[in-house]
A and B are shown apart, each in its own frame.
Chain A
Amino acid sequence: MTVLASTNVSCTKDALPAAPVLAVEDVEKRYGSIHSLKGVSMEIARGEIVALLGLNGAGKTTLVSIIAGILRPDDGRVWVDGINVLASGSLARRRIGLAPQETGVYPTLHVEENLRFFGELSGLRRRSLTRRVDEVAETFALTEFMRRPARDLSGGERRRLHTAMTLMHRPPLLVMDEPTTGVDVESRARLLAIIRSLAEGGHGVCYSTHYLSEVEQLGASAAILNEGHLAAHGTLPKLMAEHGYYAVDLQFEGAPPRLESRVSTVRDSTLHVITDCRPATEVAAILAELGPAVERLKSLELVQPSLESVFNALTGQKSHPDRIPQGWAGGSHG
């Protein structure tokens, strides 16, 4: 067993000086000919939320599964709270709470029984188990549903139960794979608030999501995966300073014109033009390029660097703006 710093286990010669709650080191994973993860390394400190971003197929779920110890990487190492996940899986999993992408609850069992089971799995018994079930249910506003079968919960309530089950054993690291997918606005806001408060309480959170707006709402750092590589990892100001770009949004009456000489994309009646320097200095040139279409111009907005622009730049969407999928606006979602 290889053990790093931990409260109840001894250190060995492999010990690192100050262990983050999660350390991923050069992780590689292949599925046949598909190279899903290509030497990914990242860390999460206690109290930190790191949002794992990437297009579909970027490797987010693979990385989450490897961190959670349910998928073996082909190469590399993962340390959770100082414990090598590959060498001491069971011990490491005591320190991880995984909320997988798909809602996983026992539909025929009551909410209380679902929570109780995951407490029992981690060794909680009798009073300490009952106390923990009550605590977690209260945190996730599930107390009034305790005697209700999980199948009778609404989608949002079920998702809250799904997330609550990860916390029964007080893991220092929470790994959440798209936890707000398919959740209504109220439940989503509640979940995000809970996750923020868990981080404030010292939990490290690895949070995979498609919704860029949640990264800011969580006050999270971002780790952007692109085709198996970790393209960038850092705080939002840092990422925006390094990778963000400015743009101009031009709204037209009718269909917007195409600007062949510039990187741009059309959404409905809006032309989104990416600029390489501050857009104010380029507006005149853009307007001149519009030609007669300028007559149909309804409004013009200067767009500051945002996480969306960082994401687009790092995932190749800036140079191929037509590839920007629906729902990547970085704003609200269902």
Chain B
Amino acid sequence: MGSVAIAINDLRILRRDSIPILMLIVMPLIVMPFVKAAFHLTMLAEGVAGTNGAEQAVPGMQVMFGFYLASQVSFGFYREHAWATWDRLRASPASASAILLGKLIVPLFEAAIQFIVLFGLGGLLLQLHVRGPWVQLPMVACAFSLCLVALGLAVTAACRTVLQVNAIINISALLFACLGGALVPVTLLPHWAKVLSPVVPSYWAMKGFRRAILGERGGELIPILVLLAFASTFALIAVWRLRFDQRKTSFA
């Protein structure tokens, strides 16, 4: 019950200030048409025929800008601290787990909106064609979103200021996007980067999306399972590190 109330309240806050969700959606939409043609060439260089570049541009930008979802999770907690409502929440009848769950519902909702808009408009405007079973796409998106939400929680637990959160998420977003093949297909990465690629969740998200989009057969569930394993690891770190009575500040 407490989780639902917290989620509804966070939705009200999001309705009053929708910039965060615009960040998740507008930024990738701006970038996608610019990189589509370049990705067409990289896919040709990979030896993937019959593509137009949207097959890399849409999931690539979804994966890269999806990382800001982790920021949304973290900001949700830091906002409560900045507005001095965190202690009020803790003193409410809602249990600690209900508070945590409640704070994660809206970011997951934002992830769903991002996925629907990016892939929807990708199909309509960028001629993205899904050759494999389309149901794999939401499954990968779901697992990747859980992974990012758990990462956001882990970063929240580990950091004390919002500046630290910003720095960690921005660096991770860029690094993971590069290593994971969201910016450049993994096959075109330097050898050392190819070796490192599987250690980042973006790699598995891109693998899952591309398998579905390009209709590659076999091992469809592996990327989803690996993403869920990442999500579990981040969640464990969050549970280990999170202290409800720790003060969080905007600045040091």
Q: How far is the CB of B100 from chain A (nearest CB, A)?
A: 14
Within 8 A of B (CB), among A67-121: 68-71, 89-90, 93-94, 96, 98, 100, 102-109, 113, 117-118, 120-121
Q: How far is the CB of A280 from chain B (nearest CB, A)?
A: 50
Docked Cα-Cα span, A65 to B86, in Å, equals 13
Q: Which residue of B lies closest to A124 (CB)?
A: B5
Q: How far is the CB of B249 from chain A (nearest CB, A)?
A: 12
Residue numbers in A under 8 Å from B90 (CB-CB): 69-70
> Of A105, A121, A149, which contacts B94 at CB under 8 A?
A121
The total of chain B residues at the interface (CB under 8 A) is 26
Contact indicator B12/A113 (Cβ below 8 Å): yes
Contact indicator A98/B95 (Cβ below 8 Å): no
Known contacts A109-B13, A120-B8, A123-B1; A93/B84 CB under 8 A: no
Contact indicator B88/A100 (Cβ below 8 Å): yes
Contact indicator B83/A118 (Cβ below 8 Å): no
Contact indicator B12/A121 (Cβ below 8 Å): no
Most chain-B CB neighbours within 10 Å: which of A68, A70, A89? A70
Contact indicator B85/A106 (Cβ below 8 Å): yes
Residue numbers in B under 8 Å from A100 (CB-CB): 84, 87-88, 91
Q: Kindly state whether residue B191 has any CB partner on chain A within 8 Å.
A: no
Contact indicator B9/A106 (Cβ below 8 Å): yes
> Of B2, B13, B91, which contacts A98 at CB under 8 A?
B91
Residue numbers in B under 8 Å from A122 (CB-CB): 92-93
Known contacts A120-B8, A121-B6, A123-B1; A104/B92 CB under 8 A: no
Q: Kindly state whether residue B16 has any CB partner on chain A within 8 Å.
A: yes
Contact indicator A93/B83 (Cβ below 8 Å): no
Docked Cα-Cα span, A68 to B245, in Å, equals 13
Residue numbers in B under 8 Å from A105 (CB-CB): 83, 85
Q: Kindly state whether residue A191 has any CB partner on chain B within 8 Å.
A: no
Q: How far is the CB of A206 from chain B (nearest CB, A)?
A: 13
Q: Kindly state whether residue A210 has any CB partner on chain B within 8 Å.
A: no
Residue numbers in A under 8 Å from B95 (CB-CB): 89-90
Most chain-A CB neighbours within 10 Å: which of B6, B85, B86, B91? B91
Contact indicator A169/B93 (Cβ below 8 Å): yes
Q: How far is the CB of B79 from chain A (nearest CB, A)?
A: 9
Contact indicator A68/B91 (Cβ below 8 Å): yes
Docked Cα-Cα span, A165 to B91, in Å, equals 12
Residue numbers in B under 8 Å from A89 (CB-CB): 95
Q: How far is the CB of A117 from chain B (nearest CB, A)?
A: 5
Residue numbers in B under 8 Å from A65 (CB-CB): 87
> Of B6, B9, B93, which contacts A90 at CB under 8 A?
B93
Contact indicator A69/B91 (Cβ below 8 Å): yes
Q: How far is the CB of A78 from chain B (nearest CB, A)?
A: 13
Known contacts A100-B84, A120-B5; A109/B93 CB under 8 A: no
Known contacts A103-B84, A117-B5; A108/B93 CB under 8 A: no
